[in-house]
Amino acid sequence: MQRQLQRMATHDPLTGLPNRRLFLNSLSQVLAARRGGGLACLYLDLDGFKVVNDRSGHAVGDRLLVRVAETISGCVRLSDLTARLGGDEFAVILIGLTSPDNARMMTQRIIRAITATAEVDGQAVDVSASIGIAFLPASTSPSMVSADALIKSADEAMYRAKKSGRGQLRLVEWTDGPLGARAPLAESADVESERRKRIAIG
């Protein structure tokens, strides 16, 4: 019973993923124990989820969230951590990264996999994901950033991605500097999306 209560306090009942509380605790531990390699915090929000809920009902919406949770977990490594923060928002901790490109590549993989989720229980769904990335290089002092600050940075990057259209990412890289300066890198998310745009334009 005690273990069950503990799990209920730290995990999302719908998807079984860690909840916001456990995610922030885990991120704090990862930051404190970091020995080498960069890490990234991903903040993900689904595009088009409200339409699915309104048209197909909350039961289909819930099953879609479960499918998305499985999709994200299938795209990352066992050493990474995926969580559901609430609603249609998810977060991921990626560790042992050598460069921001590692984080971009994995994020693009997640975006493509979610976009390919075209059907839930026989019903067509049209969803994609906007993702913000806060990247912390190996050279950055562990004491420079807190878990709250890192996830807030990823959240802000996600909103910039969402304003750019569906299925996009934005990345912010934290660097050592005065007052813990951050260097935002404006980066278009879905390489395939950008390629299709260029083809359509000619």
Q: Which residue has the tokens 């039961």?
A: 59
| CATH of the domain spanning 11-201 | 3.30.70.270
Calculate Rg over the CA atoms of the chain: 17
pLDDT in tens, 169-180: 999 998 765 444
Task: Show me where the domains of the chain are located.
Answer: 11-201
Q: Which residues of the chain have pLDDT under 70?
A: 5, 142-143, 176-202
pLDDT reported for residue 186: 43
pLDDT reported for residue 12: 95
pLDDT in tens, 105-125: 999 999 999 998 878 888 888
Which residues have a catalytic role annotated?
Answer: 88
pLDDT reported for residue 177: 53
Residues 42-51 as b/e (b if ≥16 CB within 10 A, e otherwise) read bbbbbbebee
Q: Which residue has the tokens 């890198």?
A: 185
Strands annotated E in the chain: 38-47, 81-86, 89-97, 119-120, 123-124, 128-136, 169-174, 182-185
pLDDT reported for residue 162: 95
